[in-house]
Amino acid sequence: MPQLKITYFDIHGGRAEPVRLALAIGGIAFEDHRFTYAEFPEVRKSTPFGQVPTMTVDGVQITQSDSMLRYAGKLAGLYPEDAYQALLCDEVMYVVEEAGVKMGPTYRMTGDAQKEARLALVHGSMPVYLRWLEQQLAAHGSEFFADNRLTVADLKVFVDVRTLNSGRLDHIPTDLVEQVAPKLNAHMKRIAELPAVQAYYAKFK
């Protein structure tokens, strides 16, 4: 098994969290290098694009979170071997990633500018992608997004919905997902109750 290291902010969310979860669920050992926001300016100097997360595989630094997530999923048995099921998995992951890209600039905003930008998302693109995810879930059995089992697509959506519900995002209603896509919210709760997921978060209590 390769020597793995994940470098990301010390938060239970964001782009590294599905990767951490996949590795933990699969019982894959990795160094969980977490840092504070104050430390980020120094950390980013050692990354190719000044961005995190990064994954180090046997000493080789890797960028791009969805690539890391697919790799972690393959190591952990959480990525489909069937080409079509892998396509469905990737489709869901990229939709969530694209939504995150739209949200990204708002983290650097404050005050009315942030409020205006986030409310524009709440009343614009966010309901569109959340409803699409709910439709995809229903189309594939209502329990998982692909392969009729837990995959990294479920973990990616789980982290996204969990964050939207958390109250940590100013101007994002904590009941947005429940109001727009209740079956997606139910999916998040089911994933949260999986023993392996509960065991992962129990380490941080």
CA separation for the pair 77, 53 (Å, rounded): 22
Give me the tens of pLDDT residue by residue for the chain, a chain 205 residues long.
899 999 999 999 999 999 999 999 999 999 999 999 999 999 999 999 999 999 999 999 999 999 999 999 999 999 999 999 999 999 999 999 999 999 999 999 999 999 999 999 999 999 999 999 999 999 999 999 999 999 999 999 999 999 999 999 999 999 999 999 999 999 999 999 999 999 999 998 7
Strands, E, within the chain: which ranges?
Answer: 4-9, 31-35, 54-57, 60-62
- In words, the CATH class of domain 4-78 is alpha beta
Could you check whether the bond before residue 2 is cis, i.e. omega within 30 degrees of 0? Answer: no
8-state DSSP, 11: S
Q: Which CATH architecture has domain 83-194?
A: Up-down Bundle (1.20)
Contact present, 40 and 9 (Cβ < 8 Å): yes
CA separation for the pair 96, 154 (Å, rounded): 11
8-state DSSP, 46: G
CA separation for the pair 100, 117 (Å, rounded): 13
> Which residue is it, tokens 């079956």?
183
Q: Residue 1 has what pLDDT?
A: 84
- For the chain, give every domain's residue range: 4-78, 83-194
CA separation for the pair 82, 96 (Å, rounded): 22
Q: Residue 205 has what pLDDT?
A: 79
Q: Residue 197 has what pLDDT?
A: 95
> Which residue is it, tokens 């690539």?
67
- Taking alpha carbons only, the member of 126, 143, 154, 146 closest to residue 183 is 143
